[in-house]
Amino acid sequence: MENWNPAHLIISIPKPKLDPILKAMDKSTAGTAEPSKQFEEMTEKMVSRKYSASEVREV
């Protein structure tokens, strides 16, 4: 997709799946839930760009 900001994430969600996703949002790390230690370690590796695919899979 040309001319899109690489910082934007574009997704496609089937309409029947949208309502359950929105209802669960506050229970996810995208909402108000606290991220798990495992999630924090994985995102730290991703942010630092000092990881390989095998390291991310091990988490």
Residue 46 · residue 56 · CB < 8 Å = yes
pLDDT tens by residue, the chain, 59 residues: 577 787 887 889 999 998 998 888 887 766 777 878 888 888 887 777 655 555 555 44
The confidence score (pLDDT) of residue 15 equals 92
Residue ranges making up the domain that contains 50 = 35-59
Per the document, the length of the chain is: 59
The confidence score (pLDDT) of residue 53 equals 56
Q: Which amino acid is at 38?
A: Q
Is residue 13 domain-resident? no
The confidence score (pLDDT) of residue 16 equals 92
Is residue 3 domain-resident? no
Residue 59 · residue 41 · CB < 8 Å = yes
Q: How many domains does the chain have?
A: 1
Token digits of residue 38 = 């495992």
Q: What is the pTM of this model?
A: 0.40
Is residue 57 domain-resident? yes
